[in-house]
């Protein structure tokens, strides 16, 4: 299946029971399959996952490596990977279905629409792993750790929730620290500009994405920020 074309992957996603898609920026609805509108806002764990576990998001999830890794590490969480790239989501979605990983789902949408799909206080943890750093200063508002996005996260995070950023990019790391320090709603718990220079403080940091492996091969250091949402 790994040699399937993009169009074949897009078609597969519509058949996958763990993939939901938003087809229009102007009409922020989620579809399951080809034309079934679904609404799990505020009730993902209860109505979709059929449990009461905490809900974790992986934003800009790409192939979903962190979503799958978190599922394997923790038996008491539900994970939803969010990305706009359907061909990338296909990788994680197809693997999780094949392995019967029933606490993982994926949403194909622009991340700026997430408040339409998750309720107030519904999310208890967010992972942002190797997002596009948008290095040009004029694009700083597009960074997933910018004040704009922090404002969105505030609308869906539960008080005491944890936000994680993992990156190889020095500028994004420093920008993230600045954004979080300036926000009255978040406090930084950990900031580390080289996580592999000493034993990992969090077992979830051992999960490596495709991009992280590539960055490590190129001799880059991996940086990490952990912040708490104060509510």
- To the query of whether residue 132 is one of the catalytic residues in this protein, the response is yes
Give the closest residue to 94 by CA, choosing from 84, 104, 109.
104
β-pair type (36-38, 30-32): antiparallel
Q: Which two tokens stand for residue 173?
A: 């790391």
β-pair type (186-192, 223-229): antiparallel
Looking at 39, 76, 83, 132, which residue is catalytic? Answer: 132
Q: What count of residues does the chain have?
A: 231
Give the closest residue to 181 by CA, choosing from 227, 137, 215, 222.
227
Check if the beta carbon of residue 162 is closer than 8 Å to that of residue 125: yes
* Active-site residue list: 132
């Amino acid at each position: 299946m790994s040699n399937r074309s993009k169009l074949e992957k897009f078609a597969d996603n519509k058949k996958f029971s763990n993939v939901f898609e938003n087809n229009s920026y102007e009409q922020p609805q989620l579809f399951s399959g080809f034309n079934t509108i679904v609404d799990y806002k505020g009730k993902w764990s209860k109505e979709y996952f059929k449990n009461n576990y905490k809900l974790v998001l992986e934003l800009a999830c790409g192939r979903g490596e962190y979503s799958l890794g978190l599922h394997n590490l923790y038996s008491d969480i539900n994970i939803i990977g969010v990305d706009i790239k359907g061909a990338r989501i296909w990788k994680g979605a197809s693997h999780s279905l094949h392995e019967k990983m029933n606490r993982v789902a994926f949403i194909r949408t622009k991340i700026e629409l997430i408040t339409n799909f998750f309720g107030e206080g519904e999310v208890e943890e967010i992972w942002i792993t190797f997002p596009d750093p948008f290095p040009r200063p004029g694009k700083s508002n597009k960074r997933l750790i910018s004040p704009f996005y922090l404002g969105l996260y505030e609308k869906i995070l539960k008080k005491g929730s944890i936000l994680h950023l993992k990156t190889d990019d020095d500028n994004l790391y420093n920008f993230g620290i600045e954004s979080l320090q300036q926000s009255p709603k978040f406090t930084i718990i950990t900031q580390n500009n080289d996580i592999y220079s000493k034993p990992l403080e969090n077992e979830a940091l051992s999960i490596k994405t495709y991009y992280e492996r590539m960055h490590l091969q190129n001799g880059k250091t991996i940086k990490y920020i952990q912040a708490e949402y104060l509510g």
